[in-house]
Chain A
Amino acid sequence: MPVRKGAEIAPAEGKLGVLLVGLGAVSTTFIAGVEAIKKGLAQPVGSLTQMGTIRLGKRTDNRVPLVKDFVPLAQLSDLVFGAWDIFEDSAYDAAMHAGVLEKELLGQLKKPLQKIKPMKAVFDQTYVKRLNGVNVKTGKNKLVLAKQLIDEIAEWKRKNKCSRLVMVWAASTEIFLKPHAVHKTLESFEQAMRDNHKAIAPSMVYAYAALKSGIPFANGAPNLTVDIPALRMLAEKNGLAVCGKDFKTGQTLMKTIIAPGLKARMLGLHGWYSTNILGNRDGEVLDDPASFKTKEESKLSVLEYILQPEVYPHLYKDFSHVVRINYYPPRGDNKEGWDNIDIFGWL
């Protein structure tokens, strides 16, 4: 049953623990940003919940509250952060290493960032070939590892005095996995975990642990993770919200802004060529063809769905869509993406 109109929403009382899988560039930039905003050092630019407004009623009503004043969201001062990572660096050291934010700003946030030390990760290099770390859990099978996570989550929640938790995957892109028979039911999924089946990726172990612990889960990578029947059913059964996949940030964000405009004007497309250079850990991981395949699938599907070639064959049938990612270390986190879009119009 979908949620009904005007449903009762429980108040956002107490602390909200945000559990991050991966304490790399994305997670540390997120945490540092929230801490900077709390100190009044920065504005939450790019956040719809903090800066966005929502029009209510007629245009003549002049009712345009901020989103955060309209729905009862947790306050930034009530957020507590926890993370897992395969490296032992604190959030401060990881942020310094990532090189996204100015060292001067990070210096002002050193105290809260240094307190965040990553818990040992569930990791298997089979799924992310270009990474290897030491801060890793050991266990005889994937179900044992999931149970370790579940115990750790309960302990973390108690220690940090949180009333609620959410989990967000902000770690690497895993190798391309197709839905497998073992993903169909919770029983087959758990048996596969016991059997250390290769169709169970580490990201699924985290999602399973979250859902067993009563925590909603968001998937920021293109990994299959929670997009399988067994985990969807577990989320439904335990009354938990899940969402994914793959944060829409740079080039794809631009695509989903520009393509609807071209289609709105009924302009045709011969081709769209996208290429990137980037030098961060994301780029390093995507340098492996198996991980790139997962990313490519995620990036390619966007135009097909927006342009609907089957509905508009004269405009969008057989357009060429190419996406390339090149690992180029000198750039670090400063990515550069080029798009060449060949379009056609009247006659």
Chain B
Amino acid sequence: MQIKIDFLCRDSILAAPIVLDLALFLDLAQRAGMKGVQEWLSFYFKSPQTAPGLYPEHDVFIQLMKLKNTLRHLRGEDLITHLGLEYYD
């Protein structure tokens, strides 16, 4: 089986909102007292930086969950695991 993709892509159009999000999230991290490598921002990078010895997460869906759970953590909200058994008690 084969999959073919022909992507007429505008890199700068895709990169510009990343610059905005990173500027705002880095500023947020700074005000929240987060220091060093911000792995939760892996979502925006091709080669995410991690702590030494850790492999990076590249899967965009894992990266998004990591990012949103970090925001929930920062605001003292419960993390979302998508377990869902509680709805069937």
Contacts and interface: CB of A to CB of B under 8 A. Distances in A.
A153 B45 CA distance: 26
Contact of B38 (A20, A241, A339): A241
A70 B46 contact: no
A49 interface: yes
A227 B49 CA distance: 7
A341 interface: yes
A60 interface: yes
Contacts of B80: 55
Contacts of A116: none
A186 B81 CA distance: 40
A335 B84 CA distance: 42
9 closest Cβ contacts across the A-B interface? A6-B76, A46-B17, A47-B17, A250-B9, A246-B46, A249-B14, A241-B29, A30-B16, A339-B5
Interface of chain A: mostly helix, strand, loop or mixed:
mixed
A45 interface: yes
Given A254-B7, A336-B6, A166 B12 contact: no
A5 B9 contact: no
Given A73-B28, A219-B49, A339-B7, 14 more contacts: A26-B11, A30-B20, A44-B17, A48-B43, A216-B29, A226-B49, A243-B22, A245-B45, A248-B44, A305-B56, A306-B58, A337-B9, A339-B5, A342-B2
Contacts of A181: none
Given A299-B46, A305-B55, A47 B21 contact: yes
Contact of A244 (B19, B36, B47): B47
Contacts of A219: 49
Interface of A: 3, 5-12, 16, 18, 20, 25-27, 29-30, 33-34, 44-50, 54-60, 67, 70-74, 79, 98, 100, 164, 166, 168, 170, 216-220, 222, 226-227, 229, 232, 235-236, 238-254, 256-260, 278, 280, 282, 297-299, 301-302, 305-306, 333-345
Contacts of A256: 58-60, 63
Contacts of A26: 11-12, 15-16, 19
A16 B14 contact: no
A333 B20 contact: no
Contacts of B13: 29, 46, 100
Contacts of A98: 12
Interface in B28-61: 28-39, 41, 43-49, 52, 55-61
Given A27-B19, A57-B77, A251 B9 contact: yes
Contacts of A229: 52
Nearest to A335: B9
A121 to B, nearest CB: 18
B76 A5 contact: yes
Contacts of A282: 11
